[in-house]
Amino acid sequence: MNNRQNALLRTTYAVRMSHWLMVICFFFVAMSGLSWFFPSLNWLNSLLGGPQLARILHPFMGVVIFVLLTFMFIRLVRYNLPEANDLKWFADIGGVLKGEHNEELDTGKYNAGQKVLFWGIMGLITLLLISGVVIWRPWFAHLFEIPVIRIGLFVHALAGVLLMLLIIGHIYLAFWVKGSIDSMSSGYVSRKWARTHHPSWYRQVTGKKDAQ
């Protein structure tokens, strides 16, 4: 997206910075997490400086991810609230996957699928933070009984794997919908992109009554 005059600002600088900083931390946290999950992937912890350093850095970087996502939550939650219109999107999921753009869906800033992803990410990161504190040695784990720590370990591993699967889907969709990456890199999208994928948001930001 080079022609900024004709483009629409979709994502502010602060949100973009939070997103990409969080992506870098997420990569390291996910890799070190996987290295403890599967013995065959042990070598992955060398990405964070070896087993000892990875063990120290993993929880701190996890907290950084939580803080950055909390900022994104505050900035984006109002666009991700469920609406009656979202049901139409789910009902037309076949058409959405075929890349048809059913005007009746009249999608706002984020579609129903993106909203599910948003709440999934926010829910899982909250579970990861809570369970992570419970199992965080040497700082907090001693405050909890062994059975609670066991539950914490289970929840942490489960939420971690689910979040990684969700993020793989998120990355796939970000590349699948051409123009989305611009939204998170330059911050701008073309008018055509906005009109095609998010007509209701397009009308809102351009003040136009119809989506022409």
Q: Which residues form the catalytic set?
A: 170
- Work out the angle between the directed axes of helices 51-76 and 112-134 (0-180°, nearest 10): 140
Contact between 72 and ligand HEM per CB under 6 A: yes
- The answer to whether the CB of 136 falls within 8 A of the CB of 59 is yes
Please report whether residue 191 would count as binding ligand HEM according to CB under 6 A. Answer: no
Closest approach, Cβ 124 to ligand HEM, in A, equals: 8
Q: Which residue has the tokens 């794997």?
A: 161
Question: What is the DSSP code (8-state) at residue 190?
Answer: E
78-97 residues in contact with ligand HEM (CB under 6 A) are: 80
The CA-atom distances, in angstroms, between 199 and each of 34, 98, 105, 202 are 40, 18, 9, 5
Exactly one of 70, 180, 186, 190 binds ligand HEM (CB under 6 A); that residue is 180
Among 41, 151, 155, 184, binds ligand HEM (CB under 6 A): 184
Nearer to ligand HEM, 35 or 109 (CB): 109
Least distance (Å) from ligand HEM to the CB of residue 37?
A: 17
Residues belonging to the chain: 212
Report if residue 127 touches ligand HEM, rule: CB under 6 A.
no
| 171 touching ligand HEM, by CB under 6 A | yes
Question: In the complex, what is the shortest distance from the CB of residue 145 to ligand HEM, in angstroms, rounded to a whole number?
Answer: 30
* CB nearer to ligand HEM: pick between 23 and 41: 23
Q: What's the min distance (Å) between Cβ of 141 and ligand HEM?
A: 24
Q: CB of residue 26 vs ligand HEM: minimum separation in angstroms? A: 4
| Helix pair 51-76, 13-37: axis angle to 10 deg | 140
Q: Give the residue with the Cβ less far from ligand HEM, 131 or 183.
A: 183
| Gap between the Cα atoms of 138 and 49, Å rounded | 20
7-9 and 188-190 as β-strands: parallel, antiparallel, unpaired? Answer: antiparallel
Per the structure block, which two tokens stand in for 206?
């351009």
State residue 3 phi and psi, 5-degree precision: -80, 80
Q: Does 26 bind ligand HEM (CB under 6 A)?
A: yes
22 SS3 class: helix
The Cα–Cα gap between 200 and 208 comes to 10
136 binds ligand HEM (CB under 6 A): no
Q: Write out the residues near ligand HEM by the rule CB under 6 A.
A: 10-11, 19, 22-23, 26, 72, 76, 80, 110, 114, 118, 121, 167, 170-171, 174, 180-181, 183-184
